[in-house]
Every structure is written in C-alpha cells, then in structure tokens.
C-alpha cells in the first residue's frame, strides 16, 4: 500500500494535503487542495509523478472525485506536528 511506504498517519496526510503547495508546473505555488479537478484528472489519466508528491496528488484526486473537500477546509494553515 502506497501510504505505508511513506509511514505516515492519516491525520498527518490530511494536514499535508491541506497545506502542501504544488512545486512546479502551471499551478506552481497553489495548495494541492486548491488544484482544479480537471488538472488532477489529467494526472489520473497520464500518470501521477513518482514519490510522495504522486501519492499526495492521487489522494487529493480521490478526495475531490468523492466530494470530500470539506474535510480539508478546517485543516488549512495548521502545521503538522513532528
């Protein structure tokens, strides 16, 4: 399972999804949770990047496709505890 590979808890992943910025491309600097769904659909069809960014993008895609964006709104601007 991809999540196990990064050894992260569910709450930490949700915090990262709500507070991580896109590092490159057309939406560089945009929060992952604010990426437009068509952009994520493109990645879904053409392949997500490898590594943690790909895991986060595929997770945000699933959240948006299933209409669960509201789960991330209260988590914005909260820093993950290490």
Average pLDDT of adjacent 10-residue blocks, the chain of 82 residues: 57 89 95 95 96 96 94 78 53
- At residue 8, φ and ψ (nearest 5 deg) are -120, 150
24: left (phi over 0), alpha (psi -120 to 50) or beta: beta
CB 3 within 8 A of CB 56: no
* pLDDT of amino acid 1: 47
Q: What angle do CA 27, 71, 65 make, to 5 degrees?
A: 60
* pLDDT of amino acid 4: 54
Query: For the chain, what percentages of helix, strand and coil (3-state, to nearest 5) are there?
Result: 60, 0, 40
- Global pTM? 0.81
* pLDDT of amino acid 6: 53
């Amino acid at each position: 399972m991809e999540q196990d590979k990064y050894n992260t808890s569910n709450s930490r992943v949700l915090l990262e999804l709500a507070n991580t910025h896109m590092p490159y491309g057309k939406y560089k600097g945009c929060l992952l949770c604010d990426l437009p769904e068509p952009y994520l659909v493109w990645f879904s069809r053409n392949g997500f990047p490898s590594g943690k960014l790909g895991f986060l993008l595929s997770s945000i895609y699933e959240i948006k496709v299933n209409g669960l964006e509201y789960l991330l709104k209260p988590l914005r601007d909260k820093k993950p505890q290490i």
